[in-house]
């Protein structure tokens, strides 16, 4: 699928004494970016939770290439790498907006739980939402 781009200025409080964005904040940018992707593509995260489901993170991985600084803006390109109904994987590429320099790459994996904390498949639990995800991923899905 075509990645969705999320634009984000660096906030002052996200820097650390090394004068760059602290690495833990990229994990937060990943979250903002996937929430944005889900809004844009028609399956908002807030809708999933309103239906009584939650989507905990199973795994996060990030590789840091260059440092981002206060005064800069980043572009986070997010795409759905895979989706099975019970598990979804997002990929993220963070670049400096002005130079295109690669800052960070990573992915996150998630499952879906109902309000009893049991793993569910969105195909059964939220069929319209499931369909929207498949549609967003493109014709081959």
Q: Which residues are catalytic?
A: 16
User: How far is residue 39 from each of residues 36, 42, 65, 66, 138, measured CA to CA in Å?
Assistant: 5, 6, 28, 29, 17
Residue 124 within binding range of its own copies, rule CB under 8 A: no
Mark 27-66 with x for binding to its own copies (rule: CB under 8 A) and - for no binding.
xx--xx--x--------xxx--x----x-xxxxxxxxx--
Q: Kindly tell me which residue out of 41, 67, 102, 120 binds its own copies, with binding defined by CB under 8 A.
A: 67
Task: Please answer whether residues 29 and 35 qualify as being in contact, where contact means their C-beta atoms are separated by less than 8 angstroms.
Answer: no
Cα(121)–Cα(19) distance, rounded to whole angstroms? Answer: 43
- Residues at the interface with its own copies (CB under 8 A): 11-13, 15-20, 22-25, 27-28, 31-32, 35, 44-46, 49, 54, 56-64, 67, 70-71
């Amino acid at each position: 699928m075509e990645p969705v781009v999320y634009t984000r200025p660096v906030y002052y409080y996200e820097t650390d004494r090394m004068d760059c964005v602290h690495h833990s904040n990229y994990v937060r940018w990943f979250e903002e970016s996937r929430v944005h992707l889900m809004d844009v593509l028609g399956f908002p995260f807030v809708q999933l939770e309103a239906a009584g489901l939650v989507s905990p993170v199973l795994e996060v991985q990030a590789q840091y290439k260059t440092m981002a600084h206060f005064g800069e803006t980043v572009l986070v390109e997010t795409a759905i790498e895979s989706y099975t109904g019970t598990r979804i994987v997002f990929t993220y590429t963070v670049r400096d907006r002005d130079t295109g320099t690669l800052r960070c790459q990573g992915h996150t994996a998630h499952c879906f739980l109902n309000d009893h904390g049991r793993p569910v498949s969105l195909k059964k639990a939220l069929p319209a939402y499931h369909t929207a995800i498949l549609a967003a991923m493109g014709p081959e899905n």
